Amino acid sequence: MDKYSISRRHLIRAGTALGAASAFGLGIAEARLQEPVKKATPPLTATEIAAIDAALGKKGAYNEAQATHVVALPRNDLQVVVRGEAVPIPLGFGGWAAFKNMQEGGKAVFMSDNVLTEEEINPLIDSVEANGLEVGAIHNHFIYEQPRIFFMHVHGTGSPEDLAQRYAKAISTTKISPANQPKPNPPSKTAKEIFDLPGLDAIVGKTGVVNGPAYKYTVGRSDLHITEMGAEMTAAIGLNTWATFVGTPDKAMVAGDVAMLGHEVNPVIRHLRSSGVEVCAVHSHMLAEQPRILFLHYLGRGKAKELAEIFRGVLDLLGNVPRSTHGF
């Protein structure tokens, strides 16, 4: 086993870390944030959804339960290598744009994650600013990738149609725009043919989604009520923890993101590192969300089911870590 693989020993150590965390038991419920009363988010209308799709030139998916419309923006033009191994774009090199109404005020909020090479960063900043939108974050999600890939979070407020039109104009000359993207090559096998999906689901306790050769879990923070720019931040608009599996059952790669409160960051880091998973970044995605949320990106290699056990350990920590004396 090389030093980047996941072993049985790592899993035992991870289990020990989780056991120690659970020993705090009775104090956990008292340490959680008290949620304010949630206000219903007004749904987007069919006309608004159609206007978003028309502006971006691609049909999105409306999540009725979260009142959010999402348009996927993969970078199918890229050929990415991680540690010398070619990886599929669905591992984590796909962007998105999401739209939902504010809880009050009659306006909508737009958020997006844009996948960029180094030379594309500053031209997009200029275009975003010129079109009345804002940059929320610029950062890496991976390490050891070639070419270097960065991610820019862009947001704005206004009417759904106006936001979509401004964003479409901002990305019109970039490879982010669906109009400038090649169609993806069909995979030789899909994740359904590669992995034991029921087995992975049983370990994680969730059901994932097949995207070509990749299998992805996306999990929201239903234990928290998070707002930004007057809108509720839910999984569909980017407030989520995820894990994407590619490769084979015995030689898999997992990449993902963990959405955490400040006091959860280091327990999650300790769990991942004791399990042999590499931490790639810790950063914010938004500017003024309440409560503050930090995101950790990670990369692991090993047997798919062992990686799934580690991801399940991450999920078990979220919402169950006692608050530290640092006041996070």
> Residue 302 carries which side chain, given as an amino acid letter?
G
3-state helix, strand, coil in the chain (%, to 5): 30, 30, 40
Distance CA 210, CA 197 (A): 9
pLDDT at residue number 111: 99
For all residues of the chain together, what is the average pLDDT?
Answer: 91
Asked if pLDDT for residue 46 goes beyond 90, the answer is: yes
Alpha-carbon dihedral sign for residues 218, 112, 37, 263: positive
What are the chain's domains?
8-23+188-317 (no CATH), 46-180 (3.30.1460)
User: How confident is the model over 267-311, as pLDDT tens digits?
Assistant: 999 999 999 999 999 999 999 999 999 999 999 999 999 999 999
pTM exceeds cut of 0.75 = yes
Token pair 């693989």 is found at 5
pLDDT value, residue 75: 98
Choose the weakest-confidence range: 18-27, 89-98, 170-179, 199-208: 18-27
Res. 147 pLDDT band, cuts 50 70 90 = very high
And the tokens for 273? 């590192």
Q: What is the DSSP string of 15-38?
A: HHHHHHHHTTGGGHHHHSPPPPPP
Look-up: residue for tokens 């990449």? 255
**Amino acid identity, residue 193?**
E
